[in-house]
A = this chain, B = another copy of it.
Amino acid sequence: MKKIINNPEAFVDEIIESLLIAHPKWIKPATEDKRALVRADAPTQGRVGIVTGGGSGHMPGFLGYVGEGLCAGVAVGNVFSSPSSEQIFEATKAVNGDAGVLYVYGNYGGDVLNFDLAADLAEAEGIDIKTVVLTDDVASAPKDRAADRRGVAGMVFAFKCAGAAAERGDSLDDVARICAKANANCRTMGVGLSPTILPAAGKPTFTLPEGEMEIGIGIHGEPGTHRGKLESADAIAERITKQIVGDLAAPKGSRVALLVNGLGATPLEELYLLYRHSAKLIADEGLKIARSYVGEYVTSLEMAGASITIMLLDDELEALLEAPARSPFFRDGTES
């Protein structure tokens, strides 16, 4: 195990401590255990607060998207484990500006359970809650069961669009509608080349023989749809792009956003090789790439691999992507 860590049991708490030392102008804890973090200026009166959360190990996933024009708060679970309902509830109270709170998170059993429990607690205190569960991973269930799909890197677009809507003062209904549309318009698929080792377990989440790849792998190492010999960047880009473009079935001439996301150990150079061929295939399909994102956005500790996400745009979503956003980990928008 080649990890730069201290006590594995303290892994998450030490990271949070470090974030609070490094970025005090941006985030503050909402609980004594610091497992709920919120924007330093929370709550913002009259604005919808967006709360996300999930297991740790996906940085900048989840907690990296707390910031201006993004989420207002996050509940931080252990590695690959849901945060508790209490932590989510505390984040909710801390971002509540009397305009309602939107929950946005990936479709995983523990997260769904705990966010639903937190929603009950919050509503009992008179806080309006709406929920959008993210389901962009096409490899995780067929299209006729799209609601069963897991949420992966598409969360970046959901946070960005919903966050921009909340920032400009949209109502809870509108922020939820926009977030649901962003999710419905996103398709993602990944490829894994090597597994993640969980700090506490000290063992790989899955095994993959040298020289093999797994297409459709999840961000916790969930099994994919194809395992075989490692192929070229172009061949991998084609396998993924054809599948997500086919599933999205956007009309020719549509504008899309394209995100090539590294899962942890894959160099930026290789992500650009995937981008290159994916962008060509998307253009060949008659789609127009309006915005491009290449880098590590939602990871799986040191897993080698990547995912490709496309989001179908309309005028509303494109304007929201162009709005300013900033956190210590993510800056976007034509203005910023």
Contact = CB atoms under 8 A, between A and B. Distances in A.
A194 B57 CA distance: 20
A3 to B, nearest CB: 6
Interface in A298-313: 299, 301-302, 304, 306
A115 interface: no
Query: Could you say how many copies of this chain the assembly holds?
Result: 2
B265 A304 contact: yes
A210 B2 CA distance: 7
Given A22-B294, A302-B304, A233 B265 contact: no
A19 B260 CA distance: 13
Contacts of A279: 18, 21-22
B232 A193 contact: no
A267 B61 CA distance: 12
Contacts of A15: 269, 272-273, 276
A59 interface: yes
Contact of A302 (B230, B233, B267, B299): B267
Given A22-B292, A265-B264, A304-B302, A6 B331 contact: no
Interface string A55-70: 0110110000000000
Contacts of A274: 4
B5 A275 contact: no
A247 interface: no
Interface in A1-47: 1-6, 11, 14-15, 17-19, 21-23
A263 B11 CA distance: 20
Given A267-B302, A299-B267, A336-B331, A2 B230 contact: yes
Given A23-B292, A264-B265, A265-B302, A270 B3 contact: yes
Contacts of A268: 59-60, 296, 299
A221 to B, nearest CB: 14
Given A2-B230, A18-B275, 19 more contacts: A1-B211, A2-B194, A4-B191, A4-B193, A4-B274, A5-B233, A11-B273, A15-B269, A18-B276, A21-B276, A22-B272, A22-B279, A56-B269, A57-B269, A59-B268, A264-B267, A267-B299, A268-B299, A336-B336
11 contacts: A2-B193, A2-B230, A4-B191, A15-B269, A18-B276, A22-B279, A22-B294, A59-B267, A60-B268, A265-B302, A267-B301
Interface of A: 1-6, 11, 14-15, 17-19, 21-23, 56-57, 59-60, 191, 193-194, 210-211, 230, 232-234, 236, 264-270, 272-276, 279, 292, 294-296, 299, 301-302, 304, 306, 329, 331, 336
